[in-house]
Structure 1
Amino acid sequence: MISVLGLDVGRKRIGVAGCDRLGQLATGLRTIQRRSFAHDLEQLRQLCQERQVERLVVGLPYTLNGELGSQARQVQHLAERFGKALDLPVEYVDERLTSFQAEEILKQRGRSPRREKALVDQIAAALILQQWLDALKQPVQTTVATPRPTAAERD
């Protein structure tokens, strides 16, 4: 059993996603309109209590060349503050292109991403969390070196 929140942190909104208790499927829960750290924290605290959250998974907006830019550092700083205030561990997922993917999903549903930005943020948060959940399911790759026979063993 697992309870995790996925966060897509933006300047104006925070998309929030949760997962089922088995950790199989992420779904968008809500979008928090950012006002202040205290307001945003209180919204997250309520969700964490309702869902008995054990961890936060936050999307980091890496640059296209894979570096942490200023926006990613701002997100990381805020996420660390949330984690500390909520006494929860924070993990990060590369969120490049999740907003684009979320917009494409809405378009496929015949909806307008421009008019439903809050929903884009929720879907992006669900994509971030699903990426993390899927990574949990991947078996750890271990390489076992096969010893080479010595010259005496080959003869």
Structure 2
Amino acid sequence: MIFQEQPKPFVSALGLDVGRKRIGVAGCDRTGLIATGITTVERTSFERDVEQIRQIVNERQVQVLAIGLPYSMDGSLGFQARQVQKFATRLAKALKLPVEYVDERLTSFQAEQLLIAENLSPSRNKGLIDRKAASLILQQWLDARRANLQKPAVATEY
């Protein structure tokens, strides 16, 4: 009996932490193992925001957008979550890419805690918090994707 491992396809995904003033952007290595912050887009207009994200999408040959959805603590979708969904729908259409939502509750808080651990001031590093939050969102998506890909090995008898 020989066990064959399922192939793990390469992925290029972009993680987005969409806020009213800024969008944190994170990317991953081609293996889909590690997410890292790339940049922070200062929001001006939808067209300009899309153009900045489009440049990153083209450079990195992005196949999917993992966008943080800010659920309320009780699990409901509040005003901000609906705003993010509207933006994500328009962005996906403009970039012709699929969107997958990630529960982003507490990612900004976790990102702030990471800054504090690095002796950096959260109030002076808002853009860095957004990038770190985006990388936490993308890492969560990558981990879930990897868990789904790791199905039991297929046994083949000869």
User: Under a length normalisation based on structure 2, what TM-score does the superposition of the two structures give?
Assistant: 0.87
Supply the distance in 2 between the matched residues of 1:139 and 1:45 (Cα, whole angstroms).
28
**Aligned partner of 1:126: which letter?**
S
2: distance between equivalents of 1:55 and 1:111?
32
Q: What is the rounded CA distance, in whole Å, between the counterparts of 2:149 and 2:141 in structure 1? A: 14
Letter matched to residue 81 of structure 1:
R
1:15-61 residue CA offsets vs partner (Å, 9 max, x unmatched): 00000000000000000000000000000000000000001000000
Q: 1:79 aligns with which of 67, 73, 88?
A: 88
Distance 2:53 2:42 in 1: 12
Q: 2:44 aligns with which of 12, 23, 35?
A: 35
List per-residue Cα deviations over 1:83-136 (Å, max 9, x = no partner): 000000000000000000000000000101100000000000000000000001
1:50 alignment counterpart? 59
Instruction: Output the CA distance in 2 between the equivalents of 1:139 and 1:34.
Output: 34
1:140: how far off? 7.5
**Aligned with 1:6: secondary structure?**
strand
Whether 1:60 aligns to 2:69 is: yes
- Say what the alpha-carbon RMSD is for the aligned residues: 1.4
User: Would you say 1:119 and 2:125 are equivalent positions?
Assistant: no
Corresponding pairs, count:
142
For residues 125 and 141 of structure 1, the distance between their equivalents in structure 2, rounded to whole angstroms, comes to 24
Structure 2 portions without partners, runs of 5+ = 1-9, 152-158
Of 29, 35, 39, the residue aligned with 1:26 is 35
Q: Give the number of the structure whose alpha-carbon radius of gyration is greater.
A: 1
The alpha-carbon deviation at position 77 of structure 1 amounts to 0.7
Q: Higher RCO, 1 or 2 (CA under 8 Å, sep at least 6)?
A: 2
**Residues 140 and 23 (structure 1), Cα distance of their counterparts in 2 relative to 1, 3 Å cut:** closer
- Residue number in structure 1 paired with 2:5: none
Structure 1 pair 139–89 and aligned structure 2 pair: CA distance change class (3 A): closer
SS in 1 for 2:130: helix
- Compared with structure 1, are the counterparts of its residues 53 and 139 closer, same or farther at alpha carbon in structure 2 (3 Å cutoff)? closer
Q: Which 4+ residue blocks in structure 1 deviate beyond 3 angstroms?
A: 139-142
User: Match of 2:122, SS?
Assistant: coil
Which residue number in structure 1 is paired with residue 146 of structure 2? Answer: 137
Letter in 1 for 2:128: L
SS of the residue aligned with 2:124? coil
* Aligned-partner Cα distance in 1 for 2:35–2:103: 16
Residue type at the aligned position of 2:56: L
